[in-house]
Amino acid sequence: MNAQQPIRLAVVGGRRGGSFRLALQSLAERLTLTTICDLSEEVLAQWRADHPGIQTYSRYEDLLDDAAVDAVLLATPMYLHAGQAVQALRAGKHVLSEVIAATTLDECWELVETVEQTGRTYMLAENYCYMRPNRMVLNMAQQGVFGEITFAEGGYIHDCRYLIFNADGSTTWRGEMRRIFNGNGYPTHSLGPVAQWLGINRGDRLVSTATWVSKACAAQLYARDHLGPDHPATEDRYWQLGDSATTLIQTAKGALIVLRMDSNSARPHNMTHYTLQGTQAAYLSARHHKEDPLIWIDGRSPGASPGDAEWESLWNYSDEYEHPDWREWRAVAQKAGHGGGDFFVLRDFVQAIETGSPPPIDVYDAVTWSVIMPLSAQSVAQGGAPVAVPDFRRGNRSL
């Protein structure tokens, strides 16, 4: 491929892929959307109407045979991501994968080995790492504002019950996952930013994890209220996945991470929360959309002693600690989806391909964050017993 030509991108999964339109437009000189792949002819027809001349495929294998595609963006159901990524890498394509990267331990190892063997660029599109407050906290952590970090918390709490049934009352792929899986099934939105703050795979690593899950109630009640009392989903034990999962993770340097995952419980829309605790500062993400994220910095925030210390807005320090990404690209990023994250993941993916350098969320990050899903199920099945987290870099700290 001529380095002066834009990278030719195929989007696999036209529904979720559609939310990247604005981000793609912002990178049009470096990245060209040439191809869409989807099982639905209706979805493909809409793309052809909106983008005359675009190539469409209903078979993924046909897309991979197309020499006019340099890279694929996987926006398919998450249990397909690892297999489709491996296929694309072996076909010589670069891969940007939506979360999570893999759903089994074997998939994680196969993905690592395939990236190493093919030399193609692989990046996980974990857009929550790029949201403005998460990026600013990363900058502060890297500059030592927090001192030595001892504790972090991440939560993804999003009532997704409306996504678990089709119009005819059958379960979607998300619903099927809830029927057969019990653990922390979607860890990367909460773990990704936290792992970057703690320097996981860049000086520290995850060593052990344990998960506990509450009983399942909310999906059963939702089915009763929306599909009637005779629907099978209202029966006891229909759902394996409990309403709320809590995961503990210990790092090699002794930091503790707590994750909460809940996509069943009824609550207003406010998907994430994060905390970070260090020896010199502490952070609390905004709990409601109208609130500011909060920071306390020893010796700088209001209060002369621990007894009268006060939180203050994170934005009070934006002039000093705004991440360079947001300082430069804020106007563009805010027009893209997921708090600017959709723009930044595409930008960094393109830059990694152009320069041949590792992407900021590489395959080792992708599987380290994603493996919490299968390990959590193992821990739950063993009554919350701790499980070792593999070192996917095999002790090679240069990776």
Measuring CA to CA, which residue among 219, 245, 236, 205 is closest to residue 384?
Answer: 245
Q: Where in the chain is the domain with CATH 3.30.360.10?
A: 129-323+362-388
In angstroms, the CA 329 to CA 60 distance is 34
Of residues 139 and 399, more confidence is placed in 139
Structure token digits, residue 332 = 């563009």
Q: From CA 31, how far away is CA 33, in angstroms rounded?
A: 7
Q: How many CB atoms lie within 10 A of CB 288?
A: 7
Query: Are the C-beta atoms of residues 309 and 296 closer than 8 Å to each other?
Result: yes
Q: Give the Å distances, CA to CA, from 50 to 21, 58, 383.
A: 11, 18, 51
pLDDT of 316 strictly over 60: yes
Report which of 188, 9, 125, 30 is spatially closest to residue 362, judged by C-alpha positions.
Answer: 125
Give the pLDDT mean for 182-198. 98
Strand order in the sheet with 31-37: 55-57, 31-37, 7-12, 71-74, 94-97, 122-124
State pLDDT tens for residues 321-366: 999 999 999 999 988 878 889 999 999 999 999 999 999 999 999 9
| pLDDT given at position 269 | 74
Query: Exposed, middle or buried by CB within 10 Å (0-12, 13-18, 19+), for 164?
Result: buried
- Residues 42-99 pLDDT 10s: 999 999 999 999 999 999 999 999 999 999 999 999 999 999 999 999 999 999 999 9
Q: DSSP readout, 328-353?
A: HHHHHHTTSSGGGHHHHHHHHHHHHH
Going by pLDDT thresholds of 50, 70 and 90, the confidence category of residue 2 is very low
Which has the higher per-residue pLDDT, 306 or 266?
266
pLDDT value at position 1? 44
At which residue do the structure tokens 């009824």 appear? Answer: 266
Residue 297 tokens, joined = 């910095």
User: 7-127: CATH homologous superfamily?
Assistant: NAD(P)-binding Rossmann-like Domain (3.40.50.720)
> Which string of b and e fits 346-369 if b means at least 16 CB within 10 Å?
bbbbbbbbeeeeebbbbbbbbbbb
Q: Are 18 and 81 in contact (CB under 8 A)?
A: no
CATH of the domain spanning 129-323+362-388, picked from 3.40.640.10, 3.10.310.30, 3.30.360.10, 3.40.50.300: 3.30.360.10
Q: Where do the CATH 3.40.50.720 domains begin and end in the chain?
A: 7-127
Segment 283-303 mean pLDDT:
91
The answer to whether the beta carbons of residues 153 and 275 sit under 8 Å apart is: yes
Q: Where are the alpha helices (DSSP H) in the chain?
A: 14-17, 21-26, 41-50, 60-64, 81-90, 105-118, 132-142, 173-180, 188-198, 218-227, 318-321, 324-333, 341-355, 363-370, 372-381
The verdict on pTM exceeding 0.75 is: yes
Helix (H, G, I), strand (E, B) or coil at 291: coil
**Does residue 311 register a pLDDT over 50?**
yes
